[in-house]
């Protein structure tokens, strides 16, 4: 199989919402699994809504295929779940797959969300003298280690001419980082939506910069390689349903936010605003997006965030693990 066919054979969306995947039920004659285990994060709105709506359960029930959902606090933990075999499929940002591949995780890129750079940002205190990313030199910056904002911070510093080693990184998950930010224990905080939008509205926070012009901020659907090799039709069906859910979100922001509010524990207006920062448009993996992932991998290798050089295009079907 050529590399081109590997990248394109699973196409299910073309452009901003035209579904290529058939809504008809695929043939599952070759499907070996009787259950698909999906890892998700509360911030991953489209997947959370898919779970809440029970769409996959309804689609797979006649085929005797079950769906098991497992929640993770962030991408790095989700990738660890994929690595140890507790889930088969999940959705994460752009940095976790790079770190997981360097650690030997046996997964493949399945699909990606088109760029959403406004869905992550760096916050500073409203009255802080920090006016640019360059002003972060020597400051304490909190972030979730190994998450997509890890790359965002590296790239933002690079663009501003500041070395990564010239700041004091403080590794905290979003809830702890917000508490540290509000009590003044850190100078800046790199975080993603909906936590970003919530902090902008509810705390003494000012947006220093978002990812526009700095990073693409792709989101990825990943599959355990053995599962993907044996259950291609099953995964194709999941991704097709995610695509349909994305179309629904783009046409029903307020309704989607109202449904997510009690799940995510945030005000619906916050969720509505953060939903609009994501594209909810998904495409099959291609050489271009893998090249962007390689750029992250190379930067992380140079900074010793990962211990060894990796080749991101090896994490696709058709390439041996």
For 77, list phi and psi in degrees, rounded to 5.
-70, -35
* Residue 30: per-residue pLDDT: 53
Homologous superfamily of domain range 118-210: Periplasmic binding protein-like II (3.40.190.10)
pTM (predicted TM-score): 0.86
In the block, residue with structure tokens 């508490």: 179
Same fold flag, 3-116+218-314 and 118-210? yes
Domain boundaries, the chain: 3-116+218-314, 118-210
* Residue 7: per-residue pLDDT: 37
Long-range contacts formed by 16-20: CB under 8 A, 24+ apart = 16/279, 16/281, 17/246, 17/247, 17/250, 17/281, 19/240, 19/243, 19/244, 19/247
Q: Which two tokens stand for residue 50?
A: 């898919």
**pLDDT above 70 as % of the chain:** 89
* Residue 5: per-residue pLDDT: 39
Confirm if 97 and 293 have CB atoms less than 8 A apart.
Answer: yes
**238 prior amide bond cis, ω within 30:** no
For 30, list phi and psi in degrees, rounded to 5.
-95, -5
CA distance to 11, 69, 195, 246, per residue, from 97 (Å): 21, 20, 21, 22
Q: What are the residue ranges in the chain where pLDDT is below 70?
A: 1-31, 319-321
Local structure of 92: helix, strand or coil: strand
Q: What is the DSSP letter of 76?
A: H
* Residue 14: per-residue pLDDT: 36
* Residue 43: per-residue pLDDT: 79
* Residue 17: per-residue pLDDT: 36
**Hey, what CATH topology would domain 3-116+218-314 get?**
D-Maltodextrin-Binding Protein; domain 2 (3.40.190)
């Amino acid at each position: 199989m050529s590399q081109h066919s590997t990248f394109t054979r699973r196409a299910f969306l073309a452009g901003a919402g035209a579904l290529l995947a058939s809504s008809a039920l695929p043939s599952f004659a070759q499907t070996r699994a009787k259950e698909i285990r999906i890892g998700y994060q509360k911030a991953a709105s489209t997947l959370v809504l898919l779970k809440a709506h029970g769409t996959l359960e309804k689609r797979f029930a006649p085929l005797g295929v079950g769906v098991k959902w497992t929640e993770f606090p962030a991408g790095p933990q989700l990738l660890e779940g994929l690595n140890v075999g507790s889930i088969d499929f999940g959705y994460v940002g752009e940095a976790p797959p790079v770190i997981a591949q360097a650690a030997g995780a046996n997964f493949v890129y399945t699909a990606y969300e088109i760029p959403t750079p406004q869905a992550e940002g760096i916050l500073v205190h409203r009255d802080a003298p920090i006016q640019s990313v360059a002003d972060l030199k020597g400051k304490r910056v909190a972030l979730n280690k190994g998450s997509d904002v890890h790359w965002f911070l590296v790239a933002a510093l690079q663009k501003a001419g500041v070395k990564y080693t010239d700041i004091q990184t403080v590794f905290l998950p979003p809830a702890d980082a917000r508490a540290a930010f509000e009590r003044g224990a850190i100078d800046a905080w790199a975080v993603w939506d909906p936590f970003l939008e919530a902090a902008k509205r509810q705390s003494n926070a000012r947006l220093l910069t978002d990812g526009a012009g700095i990073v693409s901020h792709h989101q990825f659907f990943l599959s355990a390689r053995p599962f993907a090799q044996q259950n291609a039709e099953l995964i194709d069906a999941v991704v097709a349903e995610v695509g349909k859910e994305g179309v629904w979100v783009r046409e029903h922001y307020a309704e989607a936010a109202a449904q997510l509010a009690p799940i995510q524990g945030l005000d619906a207006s916050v969720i509505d605003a953060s939903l609009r920062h994501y594209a909810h448009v998904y495409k099959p993996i291609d050489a271009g997006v893998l090249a962007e992932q390689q750029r992250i991998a190379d930067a992380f290798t140079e900074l010793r965030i990962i211990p060894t050089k990796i080749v991101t295009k090896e994490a696709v079907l058709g390439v041996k693990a």
